[in-house]
Amino acid sequence: MAGGSNVTVLDLERESLRAVNRRLQTVGAGAGPFRVSNPRGAHALACGLTAGIEVEIEGHTGYYCAGMNEAARVTVKGNAGVGVAENMMSGEVWVTGDASQSAAATAHGGLLVVEGNTAARCGISLKGGDIVVKGNVGHMSMFLAQAGNLVVLGDAGESLGDSIYEARIYVRGKVASLGADCIEKDMGEAHRADLAALLERAGCVDADVGAFRRYGSARALYHFKSENLDSY
């Protein structure tokens, strides 16, 4: 965001969280840009936005920042707490620091970019959103993820992609272990193109697509197998 005089500053030291959120939730697409100062780890900041506005938060945020985001572009200049961009529908959420657990949980669309690392369960139950993490992701990331993409430029923790459906995972670094039914898969031309586009959107201009490996579902848990009948 440019530091121009057209920036509207919303100071959480002077205004209540509820007032700031209501303002951001009710303005039209042409409004802003907005800068939120003194977040001090507040919960549910800039959640439920529905207009294509630009919001920059100056500092660390608490739980569920930019949750349910639609169309807006929200930047957290700092670390984000649990569940940043959870259930995002569209738009973009950028975190310049680290993100806590369950980043972009159940996101249906949009893009989450984390410049640092994420804690456990990044992209849990992802339903179509895209996530690019420039550092590492914690254990159980993409657990039960159904659709969408996770790109990790660093390493992935244990049980990556456990019980994954049709979501795709691209990791450049080491994977501590793969979860149940998650396997390494071939990189086709279409995958390379998808990955290159995501890297470009996240501003990773120097990242080499060829350095990534792809992981996804072995689809062995999809159907009931009659030989397992005795287990029930």
Partner 1 sequence: MCGIVGLFLKNPALEEQLGAMFAPMLIEMTDRGPDSAGIAFYRDLPPRGFAKLTVFHPEPGFDWEAVRGAIRAELNATVTYEKNGSHIVIRTDAPARAAALLAEDTDPKIQIMSAGTAIEIYKEMGLPREVARRFELERMAGSHAVGHTRMATESAVTTAGSHLFSTGLDLCLVHNGSLSNHNRLRERLRDHEGMEFATENDTEVAAAYIANRLDKGRSLHEALEDCLTDLDGFYTFVAGTEDGFAVLRDPIACKPAVLAETPDYVAFGSEYRALAWLPGIGRAKVWEPEPAVVYSWGGRA
- Which positions lie near partner 1, rule CB under 8 A? 40-43, 59-60, 62-63, 78-79, 81-82, 97-98, 100-101, 119-120, 138-139
Q: In terms of C-beta density within 10 A (0-12 exposed, 13-18 middle, 19 or more buried), how is residue 225 classed?
A: exposed
Q: How far is the CB of 22 from partner 1 (least distance, A)?
A: 21
Q: How far is the CB of 17 from partner 1 (least distance, A)?
A: 11
Q: How far is the CB of 120 from partner 1 (least distance, A)?
A: 6
d(CA 96, CA 147) in angstroms, rounded, equals: 25
Q: How far is the CB of 85 from partner 1 (least distance, A)?
A: 17
Q: How far is the CB of 43 from partner 1 (least distance, A)?
A: 8
Provide the terminal-to-terminal Cα distance of the chain, rounded to the nearest Å. 57
> 68 or 119: whose CB is closer to partner 1?
119
> 41 or 48: whose CB is closer to partner 1?
41
> 44 or 207: whose CB is closer to partner 1?
44
> 87 or 101: whose CB is closer to partner 1?
101
> 60 or 73: whose CB is closer to partner 1?
60
